[in-house]
C-alpha cells in the first residue's frame, strides 16, 4: 500500500465564521433537554427549546419535548389566572402560604438510606459492587409506575434553587483544621475554605403527565455532579455514597421557595455487593434474602464471575424496586397521586398478587436459574 498525502478533504460539518456571523442562531446554545429513550431526538428540539425557554424559566422550569413524540412542547402545571379582584387576593394568600413548600422532596426508604448505595472501585475495593445502567433503572421505574396506573413522560429542567459549594480558588483559613489527605474522596467540600452559594438547576429523568411530580434516578454519573470536589484533582479510586448525596440534593432542592409547586422523588443505585466481610472468619457473608444467600458456601466460592454479576444485578433491581414502591405508597397517602382504578395486580395500587416484571429486567428469584 502506497502512502500519499491528502490533497482534498470534505468541508467540516459546522458553520464557518462568516456563516455564524451572518446567522448567530446557528451557534446559539440550546437549553438542556434529556434525550428521549428508545426514540430519535427531534430535529427541532434545540430551536423549539430556545423559543420556549424564556417563558418557561419565569415559572421555574424549562420545557422538554412532548412524551407523545408529536413534537409539541410538554406541558408543566401553570397557576390559574384569577378572574376578579377577590380571586386575585385569595390566590395571593394561597401563594404566600405555599411559598415555603414550593418543592417537596419525598422521604427515601430508610432501609436504603441505612444499608445501600455505598461502595467503591480501585485499590480500596476487594469486592466491588454492581452498578445498574441508567436505562435499566429508568425502565424499572416506568414499569412500576405503570403497574400502579400512573403514566410518566420525559421531565423538564427545574430551576430556582441554590447550591452551596466550596470556593476552591480561595486559600484555606489559618485556623482551619489540618486537611485529611483522603478528604477529596468524600466529595463534601472543604469546610476550611469559604463557601459560596450559586443558582442551580437540574434536568430530571421523568415526570407525571401533569408535571406536578418529578422523578430522578441518581446514577454514578449524577453522583459526580452532586459532589463538591476540588477541580483538577483526579484519583484512580472512586468512592460512592448515594445516601449522603441524596440528602445534600434534598437540602438544595428545598431552597426553591418560589414558582410552581412540585413534588420530587429521588431514587439511587443500590450498589448491590456480595455482602459484608467478616474479618474473623475471613469470609464474605451475603446479605439476608439476596440471590447469593440462596447458594451454599461452596457454590458461592466456585461461582463464575459472570454468574455472580448476574445475581447481584438481580438483587440491585429488587432493591431499587423497593425504593420505588415506597415512594408510590407515600405519594398516595399524601394525596400526591390518586388511586388508579386500572392498576395492575401486584402493584402498590392493586393489592397483593403476582408480580409483573419489566421486560428485560429479571427477578431475583428467576436469576438463579438463568444460564
pLDDT tens column, 44-59: 444 334 444 444 444 4
H-type alpha helices, 99-241 = 110-115, 134-147, 220-226
pLDDT for position 371: 36
Residues with Cβ within 8 Å of residue 157, at least 6 apart in sequence: 31, 32, 33, 61, 62, 64, 201, 202, 203, 204
pLDDT for position 67: 44
What residues does 206 pair with on adjacent strands?
A: 154, 215
Helix (H) or strand (E) holding 365: helix 364-367
Residue located via cell numbers 396506573 = 149
| CA 288 vs CA 21, 49, 292, 293, 302: distances in Å | 64, 48, 9, 6, 20
What region, left, alpha or beta, does residue 50 occupy, with left being phi > 0 and alpha being psi -120 to 50 degrees?
A: alpha
pLDDT tens column, 317-342: 999 999 999 999 999 999 998 765 55
Closest-CA residue to 321 (of 292, 364, 287, 284): 364
Q: Which residues of the chain have pLDDT under 50?
A: 10, 30-33, 36, 38-59, 63-73, 98-99, 345-347, 349-371
What region, left, alpha or beta, does residue 193 occupy, with left being phi > 0 and alpha being psi -120 to 50 degrees?
A: beta
* Spatial separation of the C-alpha atoms in residues 7 and 24, rounded to whole Å: 32
Residue located via cell numbers 454492581 = 130
Q: Which cell numbers in the block locate residue 42?
A: 427531534
* Spatial separation of the C-alpha atoms in residues 104 and 278, rounded to whole Å: 40
Residue located via cell numbers 445516601 = 243
Q: Can you tell me whether residue 104 is helix, strand or coil? A: strand
What is the DSSP annotation of 53-79?
A: HHHHHHTTEE--B-TTSSSPBPP---P
Rg of the chain over all Cα atoms, to the nearest angstrom: 24
Residue 186 exposed, middle or buried by CB count within 10 Å (0-12, 13-18, 19+): middle
Phi/psi of residue 232, nearest 5 degrees: 85, -10
Amino acid at each position: 500500500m502506497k502512502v500519499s498525502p491528502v490533497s482534498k478533504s470534505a468541508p467540516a460539518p459546522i458553520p464557518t465564521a462568516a456563516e455564524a456571523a451572518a446567522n448567530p442562531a446557528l451557534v446559539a446554545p440550546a437549553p438542556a433537554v434529556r434525550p428521549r429513550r428508545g426514540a430519535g431526538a427531534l430535529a427541532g428540539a434545540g430551536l423549539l427549546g430556545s423559543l420556549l425557554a424564556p417563558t418557561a424559566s419565569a415559572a421555574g422550569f424549562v420545557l422538554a419535548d412532548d412524551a407523545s413524540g408529536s413534537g409539541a412542547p410538554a406541558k408543566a402545571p401553570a397557576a390559574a389566572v384569577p378572574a376578579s379582584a377577590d380571586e386575585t387576593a385569595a390566590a395571593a394568600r394561597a401563594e404566600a402560604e405555599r411559598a415555603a413548600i414550593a418543592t417537596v422532596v419525598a422521604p427515601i426508604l430508610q432501609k436504603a438510606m441505612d444499608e445501600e448505595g455505598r461502595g467503591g472501585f480501585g485499590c480500596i475495593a476487594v469486592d466491588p459492587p454492581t452498578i445498574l445502567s441508567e436505562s435499566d433503572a429508568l425502565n424499572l421505574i416506568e414499569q412500576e409506575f405503570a403497574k400502579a396506573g400512573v403514566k410518566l413522560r420525559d421531565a423538564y429542567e427545574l430551576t430556582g434553587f441554590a447550591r452551596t459549594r466550596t470556593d476552591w480558588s480561595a486559600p484555606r483559613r489559618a485556623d482551619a483544621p489540618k486537611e485529611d489527605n483522603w478528604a477529596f474522596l468524600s466529595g463534601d467540600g472543604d469546610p476550611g475554605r469559604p463557601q459560596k452559594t450559586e443558582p442551580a438547576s437540574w434536568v430530571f429523568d421523568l415526570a407525571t403527565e401533569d408535571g406536578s411530580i418529578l422523578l430522578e434516578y441518581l446514577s454514578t454519573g449524577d453522583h459526580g455532579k452532586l459532589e463538591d470536589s476540588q477541580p483538577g484533582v483526579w484519583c484512580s479510586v472512586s468512592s460512592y455514597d448515594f445516601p449522603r448525596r441524596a440528602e445534600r440534593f434534598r437540602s438544595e432542592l428545598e431552597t426553591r421557595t418560589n414558582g410552581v409547586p412540585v413534588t420530587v422523588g429521588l431514587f439511587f443505585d443500590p450498589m448491590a455487593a456480595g455482602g459484608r466481610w467478616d474479618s474473623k472468619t475471613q469470609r464474605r457473608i451475603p446479605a439476608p434474602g439476596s440471590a447469593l444467600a440462596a447458594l451454599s458456601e461452596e457454590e458461592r466460592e466456585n461461582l463464575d464471575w459472570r454468574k455472580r454479576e448476574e445475581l447481584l444485578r438481580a438483587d440491585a433491581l429488587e432493591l431499587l424496586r423497593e425504593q420505588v414502591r415506597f415512594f408510590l405508597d407515600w405519594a398516595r397517602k399524601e394525596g400526591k397521586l390518586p388511586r388508579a382504578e386500572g392498576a395492575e395486580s401486584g402493584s402498590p395500587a392493586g393489592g397483593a398478587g403476582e408480580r409483573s416484571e419489566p421486560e428485560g429486567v429479571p427477578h431475583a428469584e428467576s436469576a438463579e436459574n438463568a444460564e
